[in-house]
Amino acid sequence: MDRELALEFVRVTEAAAIACGRWMGKGDKIAADQAAVDAMRQAFDSVSISGTVVIGEGEMDEAPMLYIGEKVGAGGLEVDIAVDPLEGTNLVAKGLPGSIAVIAIAPKGGLLHAPDMYMDKIAVGPAAAGKIDINAPVRENLKAVASSLNRKVEDLTVVILDRPRHSKIIQEVREAGARIKLISDGDVSPAINAAIEGTGVHMLLGIGGAPEGVIAAAALKCLGGDMQAKLWPENEAEVERAKQMGITDINKVLTIDDLVHGEDVMFAATAITQGDLLRGVSYFGGGVRTHSIVMRYKTGTVRFIDAIHKLDRKPLFIKRS
């Protein structure tokens, strides 16, 4: 993949964010998600790739577009694509921070075909890469991260989804002395934040979606961060589903290279609502402003793109902010 594709991928996430952002705070997560899906799917038609959706909105009989196996793009290099047109549907519906439109791209076979089930995850930034162990006690991982950052455990902030299933690790983090930021939805953004200095996030812990885990792993790989994960099936049907998708050892610790392998990996995201790293979509007379990030593992390049889009033919009066 050449670097010119990076901007094309950003246009895809921008389209989803702009369409979805109109639904912020309106209480309809289904309409918000549909707007993002429709816009993202249409935007892919102009991208110079022959893409296959390997992580998307569901199976063909569950989703009319961006379904697993769907072919997208205007033709070109064959790639696998993981998409989440709206990560954090409830966040948009309630007008809460942290929702993004996001895609990850890799050469064919470069992304784990993760089944739609839960996944236990631990994610950290570059300084702590190689120093985490998902099977180790929470306290030990906190000590390892603190040491890598040359700070005390009490100085760390850990992001955890606010779910009853996390009561034990929440207690363990508190007993160790670290601070916690509980979130209601969307664990891709905080995984990225853990790998970028200045966001105030140092680690992501807990059980979230497996497809989201692969998308987050793509970003972390580009940023030099690290992730370990284990599938967390709730029943035998999910175990069988994983086996059908090629994951024979359900208890295997999945490294970041298991989740995303190869060097030619790209990641793009556009904020929909305000976040720790990216500003949310803002609308004004005749236009809209978006804030995006795009990364490429092969070159180590990370770009932040602050864009203004005209929605009509009238001149825009742009104010610096």
Report whether 187 belongs to an annotated binding site. Answer: yes
E strand or H helix that includes residue 39: helix 29-44
Contacts of residue 66, Cβ cutoff 8 Å, sequence gap at least 6 = 37, 40, 41, 53, 56, 57, 72, 83, 85
Residue type, 255: T
264 is in an annotated binding site: no
Q: Is 249 annotated as a binding residue?
A: no
| Residue 308 bridge partners (DSSP) | 289
Residue 208 is assigned to a ligand binding site: no
Dihedral through CA 65, CA 70, CA 74, CA 80, nearest 10? 120
DSSP-derived letter for residue 239 is H
Q: Is 276 annotated as a binding residue?
A: no
Is 57 assigned to a binding site?
A: yes
**Amino acid (1-letter code) at residue 208:** G
What span, in angstroms and rounded, lies between the C-alpha atoms of 282 and 290? Answer: 7
| Residue 84, marked binder | yes
**Ligand-binding site membership of 110 (annotated):** no
Q: Was 163 annotated as part of a binding site?
A: yes
Beta bridge partners of 45: none
**Annotated binding residue 186:** yes
Q: Is 87 annotated as a binding residue?
A: yes
Which pairs count as long-range contacts for 135-144, CB under 8 Å and 24+ apart, including other chains?
Answer: 135/253, 137/172, 138/169, 138/172, 138/173, 138/176, 138/205, 139/172, 139/175, 139/176, 141/203, 141/205, 142/173, 142/176, 142/178, 142/203, 143/176
Distance CA 242, CA 221 (A): 23
Decide: 230 and 119 in contact? Cβ < 8 Å: yes
Give the residue numbers of the binding site for Mn(2+). Answer: 33, 57, 84, 87, 212
Binding region: 33, 57, 84, 87-89, 118, 163-165, 185-187, 209, 212
Residue set of the binding site for substrate: 87-89, 118, 163-165, 185-187, 209
